[in-house]
Structure 1
């Protein structure tokens, strides 16, 4: 039994090592629990890369791991609209893209006590990422939606874009077409529910300002768009869309990911 476990761990380490990935147990011996400032100092001593993994260990009867979209959700322990929720007590989260990643517990009292983690993930040039396939090949049944229909993207009615999106079903691969005067407007894609609610343009995921912007919805979940022009977002020029997975797109298993990792 022990021999088999050693072989399994050796094989797993070899597969991960082929991509130079690192696995971090969050909090080390402390694990994932309510302790003041443990996780900030823990993360500051490390450098995280795309392909690395975090292991969260905790008592699932009292806790979970909630990945939130933005800095405001993290700051205010807001788990209202999470990107993902893990609750096995032994969760492995692998970083697939660079940028800031935010984790809290949905136990609000514990989060306030310091059970939250933000990490900056960078892409290591020594780990090449293959160019993405052509979107039309990945999403052959994708639809293109002109945001607002004939109204386009402009200040019109405080509830107009909410009603427009609620009447539709969006899937991964679908496209949003924003048409507007680029002298009077723009499109900011932002991270989370609180940024959307407060019309906060300070940390956008992407900025579009051509007047004819085509945005591909590449991930399931909630996506938020606002205008950064003063008064426009508050007047209703903001859009929230819920994107469902596309059943026609095959998902890679853990073994497939490791195999692809070795090939790259």
Structure 2
């Protein structure tokens, strides 16, 4: 029995280690490192999905630059390093992303920052860690849909592009829409009605997103409408209608237990002592 218990504990520790080691480390700028390159870091970040627990590794010449984390998009946009959230200056800094949302990084070297040495990353959600939270109390992790896929959020070649994109998918409560676009050209406005959607009416938006990397969570069933505030772009087809379906009332039997819970049950059954006959 003691041997069985030790074996069970060993396997459990190995499983937990595997669950907690899925975070990634991203070298900012890849081979270019952390330097002044206009547009480099926007293009670098938009191709990745950052999660809580992931880390950013900044490599640079510490005699010339640093890594200054700021709190707001305004500070990021205007390269304002007067009230930093954190400052790193070793030349080889690893910054762990500890919470979801936007994280803004600039250099305190103002001319370098203006030349493009700044980074904003959107942390989408946590790495899943068992056991899962009770259902019904919070929304489950759904699917992440990158709006427009490779086309992203920009004026399409065909005016019905986003309509077709949406119709090919089934959206449910708990899913996320990820909007990627050039924030100097467009934005994302959520509006109330089909009439506003058809007429590209931007006068009474429900919400306005303008970060260039926006996460919109679908929290309830119904129809959601999104357009750009640039009327000519909206009329050319830069608008999206999404029908959100409710969650199923009952989950399939296989989904009622997490993979971790099923594995633990299997361990209990496999290592449970059986009576000798």
Normalising TM by the smaller chain, what interval?
0.3 to 0.5
**TM-score, normalization by structure 2:** 0.42
Rg larger in structure? 2
